[in-house]
Structure 1
Amino acid sequence: MNVQNLRDNYPKLISYMENNGYSKTYVGRFKQEIQRILELADSKDWFCYTDVYLDYTKTSQSPDYLRNKRNIIGAIEQFDVYGRYPDRRRRHELFKRGAYHLLLPEFKFVIDYYCESEKKRGKKATTIYTESHNASTFFLSLQQKGIDSLVKITEEAVLSVFMSPNETLLKSCSYKKNIAAVLKASILYHPEACHRILAFLPALRETRKNIQYLTLEEVQKVKESLTNGENSLTFRDKAIGILALYTGLRGCDIAGMILDSIDWDRDLIYIRQQKTDSPLELPLTAVVGNAIFNYLSSERPHTESRYLFVSQNKPYSRLESRSIGNVAARIMRAAGIRQSKGDRKGFHIFRHHFATALLGNGVPQPVISRTLGHTSPESLEPYLSADFPHLKECSLSIDYFPVLKEVFSYE
């Protein structure tokens, strides 16, 4: 690694920072890092500034510490290689975010092989991203332990990624499944190593957290806020809220709706689901149709955009999924519900209510699955825990158990 340019010109960088109000502490960190680079460049096997940073990953796993090192070393690289000075407006990171860009070539090849093969098989892009990201962090953890190839991965090293020394679980069952998916897809590339690493993955029991749901009182307050003309909700917010509450559509699917998604003549809603890329057809009820009509006729701006729900300010672009989440938060606030820390506020809780309401009214599960757009019947299982009318049918009378009278006596 040639550092002669840095050696000759780094005083200009320090002088620039001192004259532009950077703190003495921050400038001191730059001085310290530059001196380290100049002193060790000849003795270290560094090829570029990324290698300078990777040296730190061998001695520390603190996210904050490593982030600080990335920013400083990245800024030094920008000055040395491109002649750019810090501008306070952006961080000069060395490489893209994510573990993949830190991996050694062999581990990168496994990720690339998986992505390419699963893409050809038609696996959804978001699934490929999640599984490859988890596998990248897995390989990076092993790499930081000094393992630089598949054949050197040991059972002890694999277990250390999932469990702490005192056997506390560090990773979830879904994390393990995502890593396994990558390894299974890469068996053709390196069968012996992949089969061996798969055998090393721990046997984790899948657990489910208790899912928050809307109470009957909360549902009533939401309905009132969506029909009340005296609150701050716009026609657009109300139409989106009513769609979510009465159809169970995902927020991303509502955001992706176009004007042609509504068939007014046949009273139908037609979309292609963002999550599964499968078509979904739903009846357009009067309450939903009226809410959308009010928005279209009274509030939607004149724009060439074909998306149903657009922003209220120019250039009137389509609403993104995060904007749909903000609409949900406004509806909850207008209804005066779920304002405590940790309360579930997104539209998925409306989808959960829709599913459990259908279950409670005796609608067959296959019909509910089709209505929600599920591709697997198992996707309905999380909603069964809130099907209270049918759960009560499974309860046993305490008359079958001997209980002392004092248990139910109150003084």
Structure 2
Amino acid sequence: MKEQELRTKAPILLEYLRDNGYSQYYIGLFRLGINYVLRLRSNQPGISYEEIYRTKVDADPTHRPLLHWQRLFRIIERFEKTGVLPGYGYVTIGGDKKYATLSDEFRRVIDIYRQEEPKTGKELMTVHREARLATSFFCALQKQGVFAFSEARDNHIQTVLSGYSCGYRKIVRVVIRHCAPFFDEGVCERFISMFPMTRNKRRNIEYLTEEEIKRVKTVLASPDSGLCLRDKAVGLLALFTGLRGCDILGLKLKDIDWENDLILINQEKTDVPLKLPLRPVVGNAIYDYICQERPKCSTEEVFVSKRPLNLPLRAGSARNIAGSIMKVAGIRQNKGSRKGFHIFRHHIATFLLNKEIPQPVISSVMGHSSPSSLNPYLSADFLHLKECALSIEPFPIRKEVFHD
């Protein structure tokens, strides 16, 4: 059945590659890969893509471009399962180095999660990220000599999890719990019960200083900054709207109401509609990009890649653009400094808080589905935090405490 599905879909994939300017060499590689999959399936119905790749490795283990075949099979698998065409984000379906070292039982957990969790409606990229974190956890556990749930003891799990955040532990716990129905009763539950109970600690929200904001605005407005029109438009959109990076990259041409100066989207994270004003400085930047730099193509998204093939920007592009802007502005270049567009979002929230804007209004502007989502930003609302400070005048303090 699967063989017939791929055989039917293959012409669509090959035609897409031809129409979008892929080289004949690259198209030939896809044709070879598809034929290889079909040939193995004709002899071994039900063979997985991971097994197909392993067969390729075993057939010629010294052949250098094997990693290219690995990526090729992933793209073909993703297209067959989801219909997603090349260039719309890179997703590892299986076969990364850590996954390949897992024991049969732990590998089964990852396989089940990758197969079953997308059925709940969770984004494929989120499932992939969570599966990779769980894979990393199981690899560390195997270094402790544990290759099955029944072999684990409290000290093994505590050793592996020490130093990791509560969020990391929560994700691993979720992955294992969701796979519990596929294992003997109580196996996964017993394993999860050995996870140490810890409080979820949240670091203070990082924020942009007034000087940093000034520098960012300067480079985004300067014609000599070296930034392309696309990156300037993306930066201004993030700075003046507070949109999440994923929503900026997913912004479509039809989402902009030019006549009424509005942006109307469905947020990717919450799927909640959001309406925001389109300020002139932002609208002009987007207009300049569309008219002067954006290539003419059928892509619905406003912002497209320069190569290859004018496709929608991938998930990591927002961070790369933000990093470029901050580098040109000469800010946040220290190791560990947050450089993504989310810090622009923090700026919008704290700026509105400082301006005495009611919190329900701020939550609406930020697109929060819950009013409590605004709470973490309060730690950077210094104007109002100072009002909560108590005077220390009644208490004698040695002058050495303070430095000139």
How far does residue 84 in structure 1 lie from its aligned partner after superposition?
6.4
The aligned runs of 1:292-303 (5 Å cut-off) are 292-303=286-297
1:123 maps to 2:122: yes
Superposition pairs of residues 7-406 of structure 1, within 5 angstroms = 78=57, 81-83=58-60, 85-87=62-64, 96-97=95-96, 99-162=98-161, 169-189=162-182, 190-312=184-306, 315-404=309-398
RMSD (Å) for aligned C-alpha atoms:
3.3
TM-score calculated relative to the size of structure 1: 0.69
Q: When the two structures are aligned, how many residues end up with a matched partner?
A: 329
Cα separation, 2, equivalents of 1:323 and 1:152: 42
Task: Please give the secondary structure, in 1, of the residue aligned with 2:350.
Answer: helix
The one-letter amino acid paired with 1:121 is T
* Partner Cα separation in structure 2 for residue 292 and residue 301 of structure 1: 13
Distance 1:195 1:84 in 2: 40
Alpha-carbon deviation of 1:192? 1.9
* 1:149-195 CA distance string (max 9 Å, x none): 33333223222322xxxxxx332212211122123334444442222
CA offsets 1:349-385 (integer angstroms, 9 cap, x no match): 2111111111222223333333223334443333222
Distance (Å, rounded) in 1 between the aligned partners of 2:174 and 2:307: 44
Cα distance 1:191–1:365, how it changes in 2: closer, same or farther (>3 A)? farther
1:225-254 CA distance string (max 9 Å, x none):
222334323332221111010011122221
Greater Rg over alpha carbons, structure? 1
AA in 1 matched with 2:59: Y
Aligned residues of 1:269 and 1:283 also touching (Cα < 8 A): yes
Q: Which amino acid aligns with 1:327?
A: I
1:55 aligns to what? none
Matched residue SS, 1:282: strand
Q: Normalised by the size of structure 2, how large is the TM-score?
A: 0.70
Alpha carbons of 1:83 and 1:404: their partners in 2 closer, same or farther (altered >3 Å)?
Answer: closer
CA contact (8 A) 1:103 1:139 kept: yes
1:215 deviates by 0.7
Change (3 A) 1:106 1:383: same
* 8 A contact 1:124–1:276 mirrored in 2: no
Instruction: Give yes or no for contact 2:237–2:282 (8 Å, CA) kept in 1.
Output: yes
Aligned partners of 1:389 and 1:147: how far apart in 2?
Answer: 52
2: CA distance, partners of 1:107 / 1:84: 25
Distance of 1:149 and 1:234 partners within structure 2: 52
Alignment check: 8 A CA contact 1:252 1:320 kept: no
Would you say the 8 A contact 2:166–2:200 is kept in 1?
A: yes
For the Cα contact (< 8 Å) 2:204–2:376, is it kept in 1?
no
Distance 1:111 1:87, change over 3 A: closer
Secondary structure of the structure 2 residue equivalent to 1:379? helix
Deviation, structure 1 residue 221: 1.9
What corresponds to 2:4 in structure 1? none
Shift in CA distance, 330/172, structure 1 to aligned 2, threshold 3 Å: closer
Given that 2:205 and 2:346 are in contact with CA atoms closer than 8 Å, whether structure 1 keeps it comes out as: no
Distance (whole Å) between structure 2 residues aligned to residue 305 and residue 180 of structure 1:
39
Distance in 2, Cα, partners of 1:310 & 1:123: 25
Mind listing any 5+ residue stretches in structure 1 that lack a counterpart? 1-49, 51-73, 163-168
Report the residue type matching 1:131 in the other structure.
Answer: E
Please give the secondary structure, in 2, of the residue aligned with 1:138.
helix
Greater length-normalized contact order (CA 8 Å, ≥ 6 residues apart): 2
Deviation per CA, 1:30-79: give whole Å up to 9, x if none. xxxxxxxxxxxxxxxxxxxx9xxxxxxxxxxxxxxxxxxxxxxx99x84x
- Please state how far the C-alpha of 1:282 moved relative to its aligned partner: 1.6
Unaligned residue ranges in structure 2 (runs of 5+): 1-49, 71-93
The alignment-based identity, stated in percent, is: 45
CA distance in 1, matches of 2:68, 2:117: 34
